[in-house]
Amino acid sequence: MNPAQTDAAIQTHYRACNLCEAICGLEIRVRGNEILSIRGDEADPLSRGHICPKAIALKDIHEDPNRLRTPLRRTASGWEEIGWDEALDYAADRLVEVQRAHGGDAIASYLGNPTVHNYGSMTHAPRLLQTLKSRTRFSATSVDQLPHQLLAYWMYGHQLLVPIADIDRSHYFLVLGANPMASNGSLMTVPDFRNRLKALQARGGKMVVLDPRRSETAEVADEHHFVHPGTDAAFMLGLLKVVFDEQLTRLDRLGAFSDGIDAAAAAITAFDLDVLAAHCGVHAAIIRRIAREFAAAEGAAAYGRMGVSTQQFGTLTQWLIQLLNIVTGNLDRAGGTMFARMAVDLVDSPVSRPGHFGKWKSRVRGLPEFAGELPVAALAEEILTPPASADSTNIRALITSAGNPVLSTPNGAQLDRALSGLDFMLSVDLYLNETTRHAHLILPPTAALEHDHYDLIFHVFAVRNTTRYSEALFDKPAGTLHDWEIFEGLGARVAARLGLKRDAFPQPHQIIDMGLRSGPYGAMRKHPAALTLKKLQENPHGIDLGAMEPCLPQRLAHKDRRIQCTPPELLVELQHFGQQLGAPDVGTPLKLIGRRHLRSNNSWMHNFQRLVKGPVRTQLLMHPADLALRGLSDGARVEVRSRVGRVVVEVSASDEMMRGVVSLPHGWGHDRDGTRLDIAQAHAGVSNNDLTDENFLDAVSGNAALNGVPVTVEAIA
């Protein structure tokens, strides 16, 4: 508990919001068990008082009568509440049974997004998975940021060496397929994006946005250009071609420790600018101008997110973005893209995991692992496809934690069916939802305000170096377990049954203390900040550690301390891209893209009245001319079809949309039977991922291509 001030039993707590990557500092006032108010913490050095409407919903999550508080076991007639010891024993028995009969790979796991917002899961879930010796691991990474991690590993030598746009000092911010005005930023922890952008504009800088939808971020940009979904690589190739052709490169510093730029330049300059322009839909003159402006700016950052990470040419596009930052001299430069220096350093540390790629492949389709995980687009087929021989196995059991893959992974309807055939499924989750309804056992951990918090991951991506530890607001209710305690309890039981020895392992807060002490600002390194957990406890608003600083080549994780600018896989992919280059098919079929809203968070925050009230916002958005072409009217119910499925949804005319592109948010589709989500069910919407296609991938990484999915839209008879 961190009672900073006492006022007739009213206590004020400071803590990080764990809901999205902006990690805003909150000031929460409580009286006993009652939450009186949630506000932005003005003294937080990173978020400076900023919050969004979702923060208030932390109260709703805490109080939600639908939130599970006791283990639930499936019975023939429904669910029964059972005690924790019985639940953990039952889970261990069933997992060991499957492992003995079919081997470790028969037990798969899926870790969802809130895992990275819950540091105890980060420290302790991997330990359970190690005990299970399974190579069929999946996570939300492969419907999200996989290309960034793969490129960071290839180019800079470590999957977490992801360069971050230094927006606070930049003069030119080029944004492809990101909507921080709704998302509050991603792989860019940037609370208060709006004011940071205003400051950039006030210092004479500008933001240019490429997006097939005139998004909330495009609205506040200095320039917005429509781009055909999935064709950003052509736009980026155009920029790089101009930079190389007009000799606008600035390689005086980075050139000294970069390899492969010549090979990239040769391949890129061979393209024809007019062909590239026609392909992406951005005029050649505009590409030329943006290239010159970008190269001339005193600190420019190119940044691409979900719209380019989760598309057919995701890794290629993200590579070209890295390359532009490098060849214009903007990597590792103030105002360009820089590496954060985290107080608990996950890169330069004895437990660092740089990554590995393709060490094994998925059984059915041969998709490559990255850093020990397989692309989740393969999960359903790995369950449904029987083994070809006696020495192989399909997935027979699944552990999900903090994930809802039925709504969040491609062809969710197929996965929905696959899950119902598992021998055993265990879900660690706060809710009985579209995914966990298939579990044989649901183990609900404590909710956010009942445990302490440290952002192990998001300081890696933050636009400024800070550190902050949050105490639990409320004591853990009697007879409940934190996520990490569930993993520990289960791991110990599994190990005992398998006769495996288990080393003692520190608790999450002890790991943080060690990480802080031995980290770059740590007491052990004699840094003036002398960080320890105790020091953070004494500074609940967080501690400012300064702007990002140049750190290359020392920080590079390749042994030779050089940047590998042109991973060979990308030259091959560039050829593939070139082969399909041609005029895009405007109009038919339509291309489906996603959409985020400030008051939503992936699939799981639709059960709170204050976030779902107001006008419906789950419609399919479509340009009026595309509606007219099909004889459809605004507000009509339409059938959207893709290769894998169909949904029926209301269509809304919107000139925000590029012609030929339709948009549907993901994470909805709460009308499936057997969930316990009263409010979400009443605001069901349809699931975008009943349309996305498990075969439509970024070929390099196996990441799902969730944007640019071919669909048709028709009136319903």
Ligand X SMILES: Nc1nc2c(c(=O)[nH]1)N[C@H]1C(S)=C(S)[C@@H](COP(=O)(O)OP(=O)(O)OC[C@H]3O[C@@H](n4cnc5c(=O)[nH]c(N)nc54)[C@H](O)[C@@H]3O)O[C@H]1N2
**Angstrom distances, CA of residue 288 to CA of 271, 292, 295, 327:** 14, 6, 11, 16
One of 55, 188, 324, 338 touching ligand SF4 (CB under 6 A): 55
Please state the closest distance from residue 567 (CB atom) to ligand SF4, in A.
Answer: 33
Kindly state whether residue 328 participates in binding ligand X, applying the rule CB under 6 A.
Answer: no
Q: Which does 626 bind (CB under 5 to 8 A by kind): Mo ion, ligand X, ligand SF4, none?
A: none
H, E, C per residue of 395-423: CCEEEEECCCHHHHCCCHHHHHHHHCCCC
Kindly state whether residue 38 participates in binding ligand SF4, applying the rule CB under 6 A.
Answer: no
Question: Residue 433 or residue 652: which is nearer to ligand X going by CB?
Answer: 433
Question: Residue 471 or residue 488: which is nearer to ligand SF4 going by CB?
Answer: 471
Enumerate residues 6+ apart whose C-beta is below 8 A from 590: 622, 626, 660, 661, 662, 710, 711, 712, 713
Residues 170 to 229 in contact with ligand SF4, rule: CB under 6 A: 184, 191
Partnered with residue 258 across adjacent β-strands are 563
Residues found near Mo ion in the complex (CB under 5 A): 144
Place of tokens 């709006």: 194
Kindly state whether residue 118 participates in binding ligand X, applying the rule CB under 6 A.
Answer: yes
Kindly state whether residue 426 participates in binding ligand SF4, applying the rule CB under 6 A.
Answer: no
Q: Are 14 and 541 in contact (CB under 8 A)?
A: yes
- Quote the CA–CA distance of 360 and 471 in Å, as a whole number: 40
In order, the DSSP letters of 121-174 are: HHHHHHHHHHHHT-S-EEEGGGGTTHHHHHHIIIIISSTT---EE-TTT-SEEE
Kindly state whether residue 51 participates in binding ligand SF4, applying the rule CB under 6 A.
Answer: yes
**Angstrom distances, CA of residue 534 to CA of 226, 472, 622:** 50, 15, 54
Residues 334 to 353 in contact with ligand SF4, rule: CB under 6 A: none
One of 25, 71, 112, 685 touching ligand X (CB under 6 A): 112
3-state SS, residue 202: helix
Q: Which does 24 bind (CB under 5 to 8 A by kind): ligand SF4, ligand X, Mo ion, none?
A: ligand SF4
Number of residues that bind ligand X (CB under 6 A): 63
Question: Residue 69 or residue 194: which is nearer to ligand SF4 going by CB?
Answer: 194
Q: Which does 51 bind (CB under 5 to 8 A by kind): ligand X, ligand SF4, Mo ion, none?
A: ligand SF4
Q: Which helix (H) or strand (E) holds 241?
A: helix 232-245
Please state the closest distance from residue 56 (CB atom) to ligand SF4, in A.
Answer: 9
Please state the closest distance from residue 414 (CB atom) to ligand SF4, in A.
Answer: 31
Would you mind telling me the total number of residues written for the chain in this entry? 717
Tokens of 546: 């300064």
Distance of CA 173 to the CA centre of its chain: 21
Backbone angles phi, psi at 706, to 5 degrees: -90, -15
Stretch 88-127: interaction string toward ligand SF4, x if CB under 6 A? ----------------------------------------
Please state the closest distance from residue 16 (CB atom) to ligand SF4, in A.
Answer: 8
Q: Which does 191 bind (CB under 5 to 8 A by kind): ligand SF4, Mo ion, ligand X, none?
A: ligand SF4
Q: Are 146 and 312 in contact (CB under 8 A)?
A: no
Task: Point out which residues bind ligand X (CB under 6 A).
Answer: 20-21, 112-114, 118, 140, 143-144, 176-180, 182-184, 186, 210-213, 215, 227, 229-230, 232, 305-308, 311, 401-405, 408, 428-431, 433, 445, 483, 593-594, 596-598, 600-604, 666-667, 688-689, 692, 706-708
Task: Point out which residues bind ligand SF4 (CB under 6 A).
Answer: 17, 19-20, 22-24, 51-52, 54-55, 184, 191
